[in-house]
Amino acid sequence: MIAPPRARVKLFSSEECRIWPISAPNRLPACIQPGICHKFRRISFTQGAQVAGKGRDDRKTRDAHELAALDGDSLLQKAIGRQIRKIRLGKNLTVSDLSRASSVSVAMISKIENGQTSASLGTLQRISGALAIPLSSLFIQFEELSNISYVKAGDGLEIERRGTRAGHHYRLLGHGVRAEVAVEPYLVTLTDESDVFPWFQHGGVEFIYMLEGEMEYRHGNEVYTLAPGDSLFFDPQAIHGPDHLKRFPIRFLTVISYADKL
């Protein structure tokens, strides 16, 4: 008999780790239930099936999955270690200086900075206090590598933009910030009740991919006909937007990157 696959879900934002059958998604925590623009720092899944009579092969399979789950923990402790070293050196402190200020041994700090051990929350609090920084600052490098947004079909956060008053419907499908770039993907829907609005203008860069319907899209003095499969990539500092709505319903993806948003 084959047992239901199970998933180990590690929620680093809430420090919760439990086991749920994948076949029972309704039992997952609210923060990752299908719904509005779910964003979380990192979710690590391992899957395995227990098959009666397989014995050693089964154990090897489970061990392999458990090792895979540990990869995320290893990345986290290495990212924390690199961040501690970076901040310490930026403040011109030696390991001994930090040890005296935090009451954490030199050996322990060395292991943490080299990603060789997983420090307790209390230890990290003492170190962050000695460095005069918020505890959350130690996780910045890890968060930059692992931010993720998961949105089920039909979901996403309904928001208002300038085109809303012209009957344009926007669903934000995620939001990511990395280094000095912010990225916002939208699913835009126009119906026969929508109006044209070729007056958008903002910084960054923008990409449009047509999914359904047909429209003419203005960029500066040029007008482009967009049908399913067509795309535009452009500088949004020029005025732009739907100029003529030809066939409904109209749906397209637009991804806007603001290089100067932070």
On whether both 46 and 137 belong to a single domain, the answer is yes
Phi, psi of 198 (to 5 degrees): -90, 45
Q: Say yes or no to pLDDT of 93 above 60.
A: yes
Range of the domain at 107: 6-145
Q: What is the 3 state secondary structure string of 1-51?
A: CECCCEEEEEECCCCEEEEEECCCHHHCCHHHCCCCCEEECCEECCEECCE
pLDDT-derived band of residue 246, with 50, 70 and 90 as boundaries?
Answer: very high
pLDDT tens per residue across span 121-152:
789 989 988 998 887 778 776 655 555 667 78
Residues 6+ apart with CB under 8 A from 15: none
On whether both 141 and 160 belong to a single domain, the answer is no
For the ranges 3-12, 68-77, 111-120, 236-245, the one whose mean pLDDT is highest: 236-245
CATH number at 240 reads 2.60.120.10
**Number of domain units in the chain:** 2
On whether both 161 and 193 belong to a single domain, the answer is yes
On whether both 96 and 16 belong to a single domain, the answer is yes
Q: Say yes or no to pLDDT of 2 above 90.
A: no
On whether both 138 and 186 belong to a single domain, the answer is no
